[in-house]
Every structure is written in C-alpha cells, then in structure tokens.
Amino acid sequence: MTRLAPSAAPPTSLRIWADATRIFAELPTKPGLGPCIMSFPRSGDGLSKVLALIYGQTESAGSPQSSYSPPKHLVGTPLQHATAESILRKRGIVK
C-alpha cells in the first residue's frame, strides 16, 4: 500500500510563519537536534533577511547562533550527572 509523505517540501526546506510583529524561520537541522528558529522584524528589512536565507545567502541574513552556554556551577551529585549523561546518550542527544 502506498503511503503519503507528511509534506511535499524537501527535508532541507525552511518553515516560515509570522505573528503581528515578527517573521520566524525554522532552519533544518540534523536528526535528533532541536529546531533552529530565527526571528526577524515584520518589515521590509526583515522580509529581505528571510528571503536571503531562502536563497542561501546566510552571510547577509546573519548566521544562526546557539544561545547555549554551559553553566558555571553544576548542580547535583556526581551520580545524578552520570545518570543524566547515560539517559542523554541512550536518546542520542550526547555522543
């Protein structure tokens, strides 16, 4: 039996949506990683930056940057850290 694809868009496509003040673009990421969502002002300039992403001109639109920074002081016991790391490895989040 033939199954329908969830979308006709290729896996490397961007998803774009807007609210009253911002335009959002979700960039494709590697499987198992969280989404990379960028936001731009809902204006001509913001739309230009989104179009630059679509056309692959990320240098003019700004490269996605991770907002994660490791904590300065770890919370929890070494056993809790090892358990958490084990769970993350099993789920493929940490290698």
> How confident is the model over 41-87, as pLDDT tens digits?
999 999 999 888 888 744 434 455 555 566 677 788 889 988 988 98
Asked if residues 23 and 44 have their Cβ atoms less than 8 Å apart, the reply is no
pTM: predicted TM-score of the whole model, two decimal places: 0.52
Cα–Cα dist 47/52, whole Å = 9
